Amino acid sequence: AQSVTQLDSQVPVFEEAPVELRCNYSSSVSVYLFWYVQYPNQGLQLLLKYLSGSTLVESINGFEAEFNKSQTSFHLRKPSVHISDTAEYFCAVSDLRAAGNKLTFGGGTRVLVKP
Amino acid sequence: DTAVSQTPKYLVTQMGNDKSIKCEQNLGHDTMYWYKQDSKKFLKIMFSYNNKELIINETVPNRFSPKSPDKAHLNLHINSLELGDSAVYFCASSRGTGGAATEAFFGQGTRLTVV
């Protein structure tokens, strides 16, 4: 069964500093990869996704993630964070072999941006 | 015009009661899901329906019964509530189960507290 590991449960970072959130998944076969963001007391919003093509994917608010098949990783980065980026970030994998498009989530990384 | 809407947003109830959570999506999607987020923020799929047909039942106790009257609705009924059922329950939908259709859109969540 697929598993997703987010190595850092919390990442404190100062405003305008860079941040990297690490995500590793267990299966090396065909997968789709996602990063979702959850702001306090809200639902999950898709931040970015990798389905195929270029291994570097970007979001409209400055985040980017790189799919690395050999390392089974999909790390999320932002070169300069804002206070508004304070949230919980979830990496998720959809295993193309599995029926039903199940998303398997990592445990989440809480990003706390300090002024 | 919320894309995926759940009601209620908060639900506090006593052990042993039966309760329902409703979910509706206006995106025209074929696939709907229920996910559970526990107190440690861990997200796990419970059920998935495609065109009203159950396709994923992730070893959820029989006390949980999903019902999909049509493609746009997926309700969750819980019998004999237990303390351990306290969690945030998220409804989600996607266009389908393959390719770019795998992107899931989430509702705002229902915070269930069993006392």
Residues B76, B64 contacting (CB under 8 angstroms): yes
Nearest-by-CA chain A residue for B91: A43
Nearest-by-CA chain B residue for A107: B42
Instruction: For residue range A64-115, list pLDDT tens digits in order.
Output: 999 998 899 999 999 999 999 999 999 999 887 766 678 899 999 999 999 9
B65-74: average pLDDT: 94
Over 80: is that where the pLDDT of B97 sits? no
d(CA B38, CA B109): 12
d(CA B93, CA B84): 25
**B59 touching A (Cβ < 8 Å):** no
Instruction: Closest CB to A100: pick one of B35, B48, B106.
Output: B48
**A51 touching B (Cβ < 8 Å):** yes
Across the interface, whether the CB atoms of A42 and B98 are under 8 A apart is answered no
**B68 touching A (Cβ < 8 Å):** no
Q: What is the 3-state secondary structure (H, E, C) of chain A?
A: CCCEEECCCEEEEECCCCEEECEEECCCCCEEEEEEEECCCCCEEEEEEECCCCCEEECCCCCEEEEECCCCEEEEEECCCCHHHCEEEEEEEEECCCCCCCEEECCCEEEEEEC
Residue type, A8: D
Instruction: For residue range B40-50, list pLDDT tens digits in order.
Output: 999 999 999 98
Euclidean distance between the first and the last CA atom of chain A, given in angstroms as a whole number:
41
Which residues in chain A touch residue B105, judged by CB atoms under 8 angstroms apart?
Answer: 46
**B90 touching A (Cβ < 8 Å):** yes
For residue A54 the two structure tokens come to 């270029």
